[in-house]
Amino acid sequence: MTSGRATFKGGGGTFKLNGDPGIDLVLSAATGAQRVTAFHATEKGAFTWERGSGNSGRCTVDLAADLVAGTQNVHLTGSFCGFTIDQTVAAES
């Protein structure tokens, strides 16, 4: 996401995002005959947000995602908007 704006409407209100200065995403992956064999992604940066109700704030993002060897699960680590993330999730097929 660059220093542009995105506006979403729904749930009875409007939600706006703006890069602050932006979010960088780096991804690498490899596949075998029938599935992903390696995956690594990082997402770092920040954005500001505001709701139509007048609430607003700033979130920082520092996340990494890695394929768990021998599985189709992804381990997520880092932080998102002040929350610590450390969780393994099943990759959708």
C-alpha span between 46 and 60 (Å, rounded): 4
Per-residue pLDDT of 30-78, as tens digits, reads 988 877 888 999 999 999 988 878 889 999 999 999 999 888 899 999 9
**Domain ranges for the chain:** 5-90
C-alpha span between 59 and 43 (Å, rounded): 13
C-alpha span between 41 and 50 (Å, rounded): 27
Among 18, 3, 80, which residue's Cα sits nearest to residue 49? 18
pLDDT band at 16 (very low <50, low <70, confident <90, very high): confident
